[in-house]
């Protein structure tokens, strides 16, 4: 049955003293498909971001006609096609924020950074959306209120009817997905929208749009999203939805470089700027916390587990987050989430806090899109005896301003297969750091592709210049189609190394050459003339770039050696760099266990510079001794002991955090490890 459409438009120009800027609500749009395998892999990332930032962002998801069958596209081919073609999208999944195309939705943390950057640019207009929805008809009332003169040209007001969650008992396509958020059902009054005249501060435009409700829609789950977009630039100036929205706000920095035992307090608030009351619940989730660190949620000066409150229109909730740094090096990452208790999907708005005590000569940046590949680097650092500070890429932008020049002798950047490989902020930070005489090791798959392919999310001139100038890399191909690599004889980093490229994820090993001709190619694809890694000494800074991720290297010795030797080439000396089994180190050391987390067993390595008494013991978090692996005299050398997760009675211990302690030469070294059953 064809849907009929009627819409009435009432336009009012009211001169009112409304000068100022409005809270910006960001529009998230996505093109997806129920038979697209990468969509099934990446849509959870998009939804993880959206569900914890609702109110800062609202969304509409378009369903494409490729690569396979999609019933949500079939139910409205015209509107879905129009919006996908509007952005010239040629691959799915693909997401846009405020009209800017960012490609594959790979990293929730990066999407949150993008959203916050847009929110920081207040909008000259406010959009109010309400809807009266029944089984037969949907009536939407929309107001566009100019708080300042609106200068962008060729403005259009666009409105979408969405179904908040379309759920199928069985996957409707071939990619296994059953749940589809914010599905586009209808564009009102049509895909083009309504042309908006020039707006002066104080003007108000009111529209009423009506459409029948298709019986295939779940009408109680419908909502209306409206946005103001410039067709001259595709920029979205403002958006809103016919549901209550709110955000958590603070004037305080949400990332700190801290001293041991330092306490900080953050003042936060939520304003209910909706015309109806909202029922909120505020809670704090510890995403990561080092031993000895603590935090508290404070309401009216008292520590509470959570805050449950009903906010009247225009009422503000004030509360605080208190953080106490530990006595030693470490970090904390917290998420403060305000949930709408009346939202059936449990959506809310979260702000994250990151606190860090700097240590060591190496800054490690984890940019792998939320995977756990950082542990490969941790094992290499610990094996080399290198102290380091670890920070997520999303927090680096907040902390970069506070990191003293010359604090770190090297930056190690883990891209893995994360997107975007580099953001403009990343490039600015790394360029300034290298210009000051720093050193960089960066590794990952598809970095060059992401920077140079037009559909890449790092496809911007500054990234391309960085790739050519600082890395001295010339991108040739995103797939060398050879899945083994070998080092270059005599090279200080890769001499004698060889490994296969494993299938930890799909393999697209990069092929590169030297851009200037002065860089040294250091990893060759076996039995070919192709290369995948380069080192470059500019005379001021030094860089090592690998077009395959550390986690893709099948040989653990090669992984450890490449990182350790690269740091040694940078002039950073640790103990045990590229160790030989049994060789006596220059000083006593205890390496991080590997693997970590582990199940059922893990290896613990230590080194003795001279003959001596040694005791290696396992403790639980209560300080109780669980097992003793070594207790006696050992000659100088390096040793590896395996713990099988059993206590001194031979019984398996429970999952959880454990500590292993090395006592020798009157010194005590202790590290933590995680057993996951």
Question: For 570-611, how does the pLDDT look when each residue is reduced to its tens digit (9 = 90+)?
Answer: 988 764 444 344 567 888 889 888 888 888 888 888 888 988
Beta bridge partners of 26: 57
For residues 77 and 23, the answer to whether their CB atoms sit within 8 Å is no
Type and span of the H or E element at 81: helix 77-86
Q: Give the pLDDT band (50/70/90) at residue 535.
A: very high
Lowest mean pLDDT across 178-187, 240-249, 608-617: 608-617
Which residues lie closer than 8 Å to 217 by C-beta, 6 or more apart? 161, 163, 185
For residues 134 and 219, the answer to whether their CB atoms sit within 8 Å is yes
Q: Give the pLDDT band (50/70/90) at residue 443.
A: very high
For the chain, the average pLDDT equals 91
C-alpha 346/C-alpha 339 separation (Å) is 7
For residues 51 and 346, the answer to whether their CB atoms sit within 8 Å is yes
pTM: 0.75
Lowest mean pLDDT across 393-397, 446-450, 474-478: 393-397
For residues 321 and 295, the answer to whether their CB atoms sit within 8 Å is yes
Q: Give the pLDDT band (50/70/90) at residue 133.
A: very high
Give the mean pLDDT of 350-379: 91
Handedness of CA 62, 64, 68, 70 (dihedral sign): positive
Which domains are delineated in the chain? Answer: 6-238 (3.40.30.10), 248-355 (2.60.40.2310), 358-569 (3.40.50.880), 589-675 (2.60.40.1930)
Beta bridge partners of 131: 140
What are 425-435's pLDDT values in tens digits? 999 999 999 99
For 504, 569, 577, the CA distances from 561, given in Å and listed in that order, are 20, 12, 7
Residue 18 has pLDDT above 70, yes or no: no
């Amino acid at each position: 049955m064809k849907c009929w459409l009627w819409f009435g438009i009432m336009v009012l120009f009211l001169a009112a003293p409304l000068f100022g800027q409005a809270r910006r609500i960001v529009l998230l749009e996505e093109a997806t498909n129920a038979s697209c395998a990468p969509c099934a892999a990446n849509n959870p990332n998009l939804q993880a971001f959206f569900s914890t930032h609702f109110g800062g962002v609202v969304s509409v998801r378009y369903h494409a006609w490729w690569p396979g069958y999609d019933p949500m596209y079939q139910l409205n081919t015209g509107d879905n096609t129009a919006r996908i073609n509007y952005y010239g999208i040629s691959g799915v999944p693909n997401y846009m924020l405020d009209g800017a195309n960012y490609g594959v939705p790979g990293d929730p943390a990066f999407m949150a950074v993008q959203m916050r950057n847009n929110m920081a640019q207040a909008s000259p207009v406010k959009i109010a959306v309400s809807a009266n929805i029944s089984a037969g008809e949907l009536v939407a009332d929309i107001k566009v209120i100019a708080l300042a003169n609106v200068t962008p040209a060729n403005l259009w007001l666009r409105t979408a009817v969405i179904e908040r969650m379309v759920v199928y008992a069985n996957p409707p396509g071939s990619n296994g997905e059953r749940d589809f958020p914010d599905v586009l059902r209808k564009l009102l009054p049509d895909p083009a929208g309504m042309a908006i005249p020039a707006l002066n501060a104080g003007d108000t435009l009111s529209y009423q749009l009506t459409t029948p409700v298709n019986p295939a829609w779940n009408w109680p789950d419908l909502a209306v999203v409206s946005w103001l977009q410039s067709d001259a630039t595709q920029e979205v100036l403002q958006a809103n939805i016919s549901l209550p929205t709110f955000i958590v706000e603070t004037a305080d920095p949400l990332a700190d470089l801290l001293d041991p035992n330092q306490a900080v307090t953050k003042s936060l608030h939520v304003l209910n700027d909706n015309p109806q009351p909202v029922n909120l619940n505020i809670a704090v989730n510890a995403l990561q916390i080092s031993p000895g660190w603590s935090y508290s949620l404070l309401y009216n000066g008292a520590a509470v587990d959570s805050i449950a409150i009903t906010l009247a229109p225009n009422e503000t909730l004030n509360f605080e987050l208190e953080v106490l740094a530990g006595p030693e090096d470490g970090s904390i990452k917290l998420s403060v989430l305000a949930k709408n208790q009346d939202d059936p999907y449990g959506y809310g708005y979260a702000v994250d806090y990151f606190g860090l005590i700097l240590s060591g000569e190496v800054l490690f940046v984890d940019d792998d899109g939320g995977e756990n590949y950082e542990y490969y680097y941790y094992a290499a650092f610990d094996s080399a005896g290198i102290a380091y500070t670890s920070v997520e890429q999303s927090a680096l932008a907040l902390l970069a301003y506070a990191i003293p020049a010359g604090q770190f002798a090297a930056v190690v950047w883990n891209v893995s297969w994360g997107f975007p490989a580099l953001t403009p902020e990343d490039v600015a930070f790394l360029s300034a750091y290298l210009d000051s005489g720093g050193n960089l090791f960066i590794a990952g798959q598809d970095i060059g592709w992401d920077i140079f392919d037009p559909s890449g999310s790092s496809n911007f001139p500054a990234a391309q210049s960085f790739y050519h100038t600082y890395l001295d890399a010339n991108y040739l191909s995103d797939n060398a189609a050879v899945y083994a690599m070998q080092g270059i004889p005599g090279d200080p980093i890769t001499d004698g190394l060889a490994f296969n490229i494993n299938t930890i994820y799909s393999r697209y090993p990069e092929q590169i050459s030297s851009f200037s001709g002065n860089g040294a190619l250091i990893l060759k694809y076996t039995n070919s003339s192709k290369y995948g890694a380069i080192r470059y000494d500019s005379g001021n800074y030094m860089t090592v770039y690998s077009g395959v991720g550390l986690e893709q290297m099948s040989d653990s010795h090669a992984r450890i050696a490449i990182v350790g030797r690269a740091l040694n080439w940078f002039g950073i000396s640790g103990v045990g760099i590229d160790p030989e089994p049994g060789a006596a180190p220059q000083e006593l050391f205890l390496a991080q266990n590997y693997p970590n987390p582990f199940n059922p067993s893990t290896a613990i390595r230590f080194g003795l510079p001279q003959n001596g008494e040694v005791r290696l013991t396992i403790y639980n978090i209560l300080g109780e001794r669980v097992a003793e692996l070594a207790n006696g005299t050992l000659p100088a050398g390096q040793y590896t002991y395996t713990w099988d997760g059993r206590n001194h009675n031979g019984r398996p211990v429970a999952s959880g955090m454990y500590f292993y302690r090395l006592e020798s030469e009157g010194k005590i070294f202790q590290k933590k490890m995680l057993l996951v059953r």
